Structure formats: C-alpha cells, structure tokens
Amino acid sequence: MKFDTPATTNPIDQLKVIGHATSRIDGPLKTTGRATYAYEWHDRATNPAYGYIVGSAIAKGRIASMDLSRAKAAPGVIAIVTSENAGKLGKGNYNTAKLLGGPEIDHYHQAVAVVVAETFEQARSAAQLVKVDYTATKGSFDLWAGRDGAAKPPGRGDNQPDTTVGDFSGAFASAPVQLDATYTTPDQAHAMMEPHASMAAWEGDKLTLWTSNQMIAWTTGDVAKTLGLPKENVRLISPFIGGGFGGKLFLRADAVLAALGARAANRPVKVAMQRPLMFNNTTHRPATIQRIRIGANRDGKITAIGHESWSGNLPEGRPETAVNQTRLLYAGENRMTAMRLAMLDLPEGNAMRAPGEAPGMMALEIAMDEMAERLGIDPVEFRARNDTQVDPEHPNRPFSQRQLVECMRIGAERFGWSKRHAEPGKQRDGRWLVGMGVAAAFRNNLLMKSGARVRLDGQGRVTVETDMTDIGTGSYTIIAQTAAEMMGVPLEKVVVRLGDSSFPVSAGSGGQFGANNSTSGVYAACVKLREAVAQKLGFNSADAAFVDGQVSSGNRSAPLGQAASDGELTAEDSIEYGDLAKTHQQSTFGAHFVELGVDVATAEIRIRRMLAVCAAGRILNPKTARSQVIGAMTMGVGAALMEELAVDKRSGFFVNHDLAGYEVPVHADIPHQDTIFLDETDPMSSPMKAKGIAELGICGVAAALANAIYNATGIRVRDYPITLDKLLDHMPDA
C-alpha cells in the first residue's frame, strides 16, 4: 500500500481498541518465565554446547602468537575458533568493527576466540587457559587530543556534516546579545539487562540463529554476508528481547561466534557475552565536544545560531550527529552547523537511544537557558519567541505538526512554573537549595517501509506475522490493537507473532520509528484481508463494516469467521510513503520540567518532581507510551547525573565496564514522574496518524536537570555528568 497523501478517516479512527490504555499482552509470559529469550531452551536446538568469548587484552596492535594447547586439553572442550580456523569472513552493511579479531587488533576486548565446551563453566575455565601474546602499538584514545585533527565526515543523503544559511559569522558578530560556550558529554553505555546472546544451529548449510536483535532483516543480511551464505539459508528468530536501546540494532560478535562455534562443534552452541565485553566489545554512545554560539536582538529574537560538534570513532565509523536538532528546533535567519570526526581506537561508537538529539539537546538546551538569562527573559517565553512552523534551513518545507509552544505552556501551567525564582539560589527548604529547570524535547519522526502478513481462520481468530521486534516497548500489544481495530474483533481473538526472518520485513525497532511504521504495515495487510473477506462473503468491500466479530454491508451481516470456513484466508502487504518526508518535515516535540534540591553542605542532588509534555501524533496505547516516556526520563537522569564510561587514555579501554562501576539510576533516585500527551493526530505521518515517542522522552531531560541545578545553586555546569565534585567548591556559604 502506498501512503503518499494525508490520511482522512479510516477504520483506525473508530478508536474502539486503538488509543485505549491496554496492558501488555506479553506481560503474563514474562512475569511467569514463559517468554523464551535467545539464550534459553528451544526445541530445535537440543543438547547445546556453550561458547565463551576471549577478548583482546590490548586496544591496538597485533596478535604475535596464540597457544591453545592447554585450553584444548581442558575438560569438556569440543572446539576453539579463532581467525586462523574460522575461514574467510566477510563484512556486513551495518558493521564498523571486525567481529572476530586477529591478527590485527582494532580495539580492547575485540573477540579473538570462542571456546566451545559441554558446559558453560567448562568453557569459561578453558578460556582462561588460552595464552595470547600481543605486540601493542600506540593508539589514539583521547577526543580532546584528537579534536584538532578531526576531519569532515562523508555525508549520507540529505544528512550532510555541514549546513549554512545566511551569514552566520557576520550576524553573530553584530548581535547585541551573544553566547559562545563549549559543552561536553561523555561516552555512555546501553547497559541493558539482557546481555548480547545467541544460539546457533546448523542443518547442512542452513543456519538458524536465535539472537537478541532489534532489526531482523538488517541482521539476517549481515549474517549471510559475514559467513558467505545465501540470505535464504539464514533464519533469525528473536521473539523477546530484554532491552536494546540501539545496542542490538546490528550484528555483534555473540551471533557470529555462536554460528562459527556451532559449525566447528557440529552441534548447537549458545554464546552469551560476559558483561565486561558488553561495554568494550559492543557499541556505545560516543563522547562529544560541542561549541554553541547564539546571537539575539534585545527583544529575544535569535539572529544567529551555530552549533559545532566533535566526536570520535573507529575508521569507517560515523559521527555522533549532535547538531541534528539545531537544524530544526528554533528560528533564526543566519545559521551554521558542523560535525567533525576524530579517529579513535576505542570500541565502536554507534546508535544509543535518540542518537544525535539526546547528547545534542544536553548542550543546546543549556545554551538556550544561558541566553534567556542574558536577555532577562523567562526560559519558556524565550523558546516560544523563537518558534517556527517551517524547517528553518528549508523554509518551503513546513512541519506536518508542530506544537512545541503548546507543550511548553501547558507544562509550565501544570508544573507551577510561575512559582520559580528567576534569580538562582533564592529558594530554600531547610538545608536544601531548591530549583526548577525546563528544556524543550525534540526528535524526528522517520518513515520506513514496513510489512506484515495477516491470517483469518474459521473461528474468527486473526494471526499477525511480521519480523517486527519487541524490545520491551509494547510492540506485541499495539500490533494486536491495530489488527483488532481493523478486523472488528476483541484483543483475545488476535495472535501476534514477531521477530522471525521468515515473516514479512517490518521497520524493526529503532529510531522511535517502530510503532508507527510497524502498525501501519499491519494496517495495510488488514486492508487487503478486509477486501478478501468482503469478496468471500459477497459484500461490497468499500462499505463493509467490521464490528464485534461480524461483517455487515447494507442489510446483510455474517460472522467474520464464515469467510474462512472452508480454509484460512491470508493477506500480506507493506506500507510505503512516497515523497511525504520530502514535502513536509515530520518531527515530535515536547517539554521537560524538573524540580530538585541540592544539599547546601554536601551538594547531594535529589530530584523532587518531573513532568514531560509530549506532542507525538496519535498515542496508540497511553499505558505503554507512558512507560516509554518515564523510562526515557529515567535514562535522562542517568545521563545528567551519573552515567560516564571512564576512558583509560593510556591503554584505551573503558575502565568501569560492568554494572558495579557504570552507575545508572535506581528507584531511590527517581521521584514521581508525570506525563501529558497532547491530543494530536498527524494525518501526514501514516494511516495510523501516530509518531514515535520512545526517544522523545530522553531528549532534553539532562539539560532540564542542569538548568534546575543552576537555578538552585547559581553554579553552571557545562560538562556532563554533573557530579558532586563539579559543585562542591562553588556552593553558596551554608
């Protein structure tokens, strides 16, 4: 189905199932332990062996020699795979790092071997006996040191590293009010609960891989290319995923080594990446250095805005696109953005929840607060004065929907923003300095082709099959709601099957594009099934109504299942969007408000209240959408106050590579969180009239916290995370 004109009314608009707060249908499976994750038992992979990965002990250099003799002789060992005996390995479309190192080493903890044994304990024990001698070479591990040599990265389509509009330098130099400030964000880890894990089984030259992966079609293709197989010989299965946040978008070493180990052992093999390797072996959010310059008239109108960002990555890697939101969020006639990429020998930098906008907003939204203070304008009002209803870099392209100002003003009223003291450090509650902060939220809405297959049986049951994944976001539920709405049946009559490469290709889970696109694919398939049902029953499909398990047209009606009484009906289709993304800018907007206290003696920070107001198209399921937003807000707290991968700049690795050293928020850190969804439908986004929301919720949170800390203490911190040492020496006199 081609969707290239704005949606009018359609069956989704009945809102009998869609739009209602619905508990996740996969919840009982997860709470009772019946949900099968990648590392668990599968009936087609009996008697599995276990693989344990050996990671490189250096960050840059070569393997001089590898002695496997003691490991091979260890109890239970079946096989050991290294680059010497793995055979020729190709490279997929989505991999920057080489997934099996040797003899060259590209980064610390790069996989150099997998030991396969009868039990996990035997594999782990034998892996300690693998003796590797390295020849280390000097590497580059410091972004600040590499900043001057950073190069302009290649562009991709419309996403170019540099953009200019007007005369930024001249307009900034002549602006009566100016800001020129530098901000930094650290390397961050996904730190999801479920590790990267896979189980592989071969039947002749056909591979089945149970793996924890967000993008089934991408990864199926990359497995085939890496192992030199026809794509049709690879089947990926990933029905349940214990968190991803972008870290499981791509093929990783656990999947490749499970497949290689299974081939060498001639039996199924499980590989779960040990936690330290998840930090150094897989991907992470790269650190950034960001310089922001804003010039404005005294009435608060921005005349010049410039944003430059530096980040680092392995050769062939991509930059952290931290300037993305600055190209679209605020008006200003004279504009400049630029990205530069330093070559670093650290583990691969890649997508993490809201790549680009999350770290970019951490800087931009502090800069907007600093500018508002210099102008003597309320931060909410300053943002409203610089609103725009068109893409500032392409004024002939309007936003399909843009309610940023509504989000800011509704949030301000609900949060009690008028009670905020504009002068920092003026509100006290006993030993606590109290402050409020605000930041805008922004994330683009991406349109991607997505397909599904829908089946109807004689009992009126509807089964949906698509390779869409559920990473804890509620995909099972909103897809079931879509099918139930379209076919006029209750949720109990819908079965959803996800995460299998034998199903039609969906958008997958990432970039907050999953919900809108995958449900639109299901919508398209259901439109075809409705036509088939109407034809089978002798109805006119144009006016057939599907309600309460009945199909009616004119004065006739029949049970839905009757259409499949002599055999199952099947329909398959995909949603495609034509040029909609070119004619209209599609984005999501919001506002984050925070109130916190800072202990006047210890600089301890305690959050008191948080509010997110979101404008993200139709909310398909308010319950699961709220869960996504408050989870994102919690990640924003971590980014602001504690998350940082500490780089050993001599040896080139992340020191705190486990969940003991890499700090994330716990329940005690998070207060009550409120969410408000504006009543919005975007007819240009899809027939669902929805958008994404899972990443909007993190964008701006960290800056709102930083701004609240400044309001409480008068201390402006521009380097994340905002830890106590950055406050203590500057605290007001107790």
Catalytic residues: 695
* 720 DSSP 8-state letter: S
Sign of the alpha-carbon torsion through 22, 28, 33, 39: negative
Residue bearing tokens 């929805």 = 690
Tokens standing for residue 391: 């893409």
Q: What is d(CA 700, CA 590) in angstroms, rounded to the nearest whole number?
A: 9
Residue bearing tokens 């896979």 = 198
Using CB atoms within 10 Å of the CB of residue 668, give its burial: 0 to 12 exposed, 13 to 18 middle, 19+ buried.
exposed
587-599 and 432-444: which strand pairing?
Answer: antiparallel
Sign of the alpha-carbon torsion through 187, 192, 194, 198: negative
Residues 267, 209 contacting (CB under 8 angstroms):
no
Tokens standing for residue 449: 């082709």
Residues 147, 263 contacting (CB under 8 angstroms):
no
The answer for residues whose C-beta is within 8 angstroms of residue 384's C-beta and 6 or more apart is 405, 408, 409
From the list 186, 39, 33, 139, the residue with the least C-alpha distance to 643 is: 186
- Length of the chain equals 734
| Helix (H), strand (E) at residue 645 | none
Residue bearing tokens 């793996």 = 211
For 603, how many CA atoms within 13 A lie in the half-sphere containing its CB?
A: 18
The answer for residues whose C-beta is within 8 angstroms of residue 576's C-beta and 6 or more apart is 1, 2, 3, 449
Note the Cα 20 to chain centre separation in Å: 25
The answer for residues whose C-beta is within 8 angstroms of residue 414's C-beta and 6 or more apart is 611, 613, 674, 676
Our CA angle for 298, 304, 305, nearest 5°, is: 115
CB atoms within 10 A of CB 239: 19
Q: What is d(CA 344, CA 311) in angstroms, rounded to the nearest whole number?
A: 9
Query: In which region does residue 71 sit, left (phi positive, over 0), alpha (psi from -120 to 50) or beta (all else)?
Result: alpha
Residues 457, 489 contacting (CB under 8 angstroms):
no
From the list 88, 41, 90, the residue with the least C-alpha distance to 197 is: 41
Q: What is d(CA 607, CA 626) in angstroms, rounded to the nearest whole number?
A: 19
Q: How large is the greatest C-alpha to C-alpha distance in the chain, in angstroms?
A: 83
Question: Where are any strands of DSSP class E within 548-665?
Answer: 550-553, 556-559, 569-575, 587-599, 605-615, 647-648, 653-654
Tokens standing for residue 107: 């980064």
The answer for residues whose C-beta is within 8 angstroms of residue 278's C-beta and 6 or more apart is 189, 190, 191, 195, 196, 247, 657
3-class secondary-structure state, position 51? strand
Helices (H) and strands (E) in the chain, counts: 16, 31
For 713, how many CA atoms within 13 A lie in the half-sphere containing its CB?
A: 32
